[in-house]
C-alpha cells in the first residue's frame, strides 16, 4: 500500500485518512531524523514494524510517499 504523507512541524497526533496522512514532527531535518520520526509514527498508526515501511519519494520534501508492505 502506498501512503501519501504531508509532514508538518508540530506536536499533534497524526491525521490519517485512507491512503493519505498528515504527520506532525518536532524533530530536526538534519541527519534524516524527521524522516525516521515519520516512519515510527506511521508504523505505530498502521500496526506495522519499522522495517515494513520504505520511503519512496520526497526525502527532502514535505510531501512524501511511503510503501507499507505486509
Express each pLDDT in 19-64 by its tens digit.
999 999 999 999 999 999 999 999 999 999 999 999 999 999 999 9
Give the residue extent of every domain in the chain.
Answer: 2-68
- Fold classified for 2-68: Conserved Hypothetical Protein Mth637; Chain: A; (3.30.1200)
Distances (CA, A) of 21 to 11, 16, 31, 67: 15, 4, 23, 13
H or E, element range at 39: helix 33-46
Task: Give the model's confidence band at 70: pLDDT under 50 very low, under 70 low, under 90 confident, else very high.
Answer: confident
Amino acid at each position: 500500500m502506498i501512503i501519501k504523507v504531508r509532514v508538518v512541524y508540530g506536536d499533534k497526533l497524526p491525521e490519517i485518512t485512507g491512503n493519505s496522512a498528515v504527520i506532525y514532527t518536532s524533530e530536526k531535518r538534519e541527519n534524516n531524523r524527521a524522516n525516521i520520526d515519520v516512519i515510527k509514527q506511521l508504523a505505530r498508526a498502521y500496526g506495522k514494524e519499522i522495517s515494513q515501511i520504505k520511503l519512496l519519494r520526497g526525502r527532502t520534501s514535505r510531501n512524501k510517499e511511503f510503501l507499507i508492505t505486509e
